[in-house]
Amino acid sequence: MSTNIKRIAVFTSGGDAPGMNAAVRAVVRNATHKDLHVYGIYRGYEGMIDGDIKRLETRDVGNIIHRGGTILKTARSKRFMTKEGRQQAHESLMAHDIDACIAIGGNGTFTGASVFNKEFDIPFIGIPGTIDNDLFGTDNTIGFDTAVNTAIEAVDKIRDTADSHNRLFFIEVMGRNAGFIALNTGIGSGASNIMIPERASTIDGLIKQLKKGVKRKKLFSLAIVAEGNKLGNAMEIAELVKAQTDFYDIKVAIIGHLQRGGSPTAADRMLASRLGFSAVEALMDGKTNVMAGVANNKVVYTPFKKAIKNTKTPDADLIHMAEVLGM
């Protein structure tokens, strides 16, 4: 049990994700339970540099578990990438006598934390908060389940108009470098086609599959496209297919930032609460430079270097299942 840590800071960084507030709540309440002083850093590393740091009490995190976004706000900081910016951030932490930090975010957040720890030897624990679900060392990241549910709800509505008009919809979801949202949305919504960055696709192969549906007198079709799909975005793919076919009225829908907002699902609230609680436990046990995650329903701690560099890809069996079920 560590006796050196008396004051900790928590912040959210990078893209926002539903459930971040639940994680902040868990950090503050468990730390307060252990008689630690907790400080919130507003606007991520930008706020750390500017000294935008305030004490958080238990009452400050009441009635936030159901809220999307982050009460601590978030930002991406170019200044923190410089030695001068990190030096200023360190001075801000020292001005508040901060002994350790809990960072809620993704790859960029943990990369910054790792560099900062190496330079100034301040303990950091990471909590994976990103809708992309692309961090190695945890089955799911905070916000992923909510983003998928939001996307599926939108696709279900699009299905109604597709069915009414004999349409083919290309529906773009988030996932610049990872296809987890697209794959799970596609399976959950019963889409005919799913295009993800990790899987090679061709326009000819896509048209061939669409023709099979037409032969079966399929009245409409839904194709889920991850924004990072190598064939292009949904609009570009739709134009290519439209130029070679005439059996569907082709439309495009981009769900976009709707996936980042909204009240977190029960699964995300549970995950965020568990990881926020565990991050404080990790600091008290003397851990540093690790990300708290849940694998096989057990809390695990993965070194930042491994969480950042190791590639997490969708399960090949799940991709095969999606292809079979989408026929």
Choose among 94, 98, 85: nearest CA to 56.
98
Report helix, strand or coil for 272. helix
d(C-alpha 272, C-alpha 270), whole Å: 6
Are 198 and 314 in contact by the 8 Å Cβ rule? The answer is yes
Report helix, strand or coil for 78. coil
> 94-99: which pairs have CB atoms within 8 A and are 24 or more residues apart?
95/51, 96/7, 96/9, 96/39, 96/51, 96/53, 97/6, 97/7, 98/7, 98/8, 98/9, 98/39, 98/53, 98/122, 99/4, 99/5, 99/6, 99/7, 99/8, 99/123
Structural tokens at position 42:
């507003």
d(C-alpha 266, C-alpha 271), whole Å: 9
Establish whether 132 is a catalytic residue: yes
Number of Cβ atoms within 10 Å of the Cβ of 41: 30
Residue of 50, 52, 132, 145 marked catalytic: 132
Instruction: Give the catalytic positions in this structure.
Output: 132
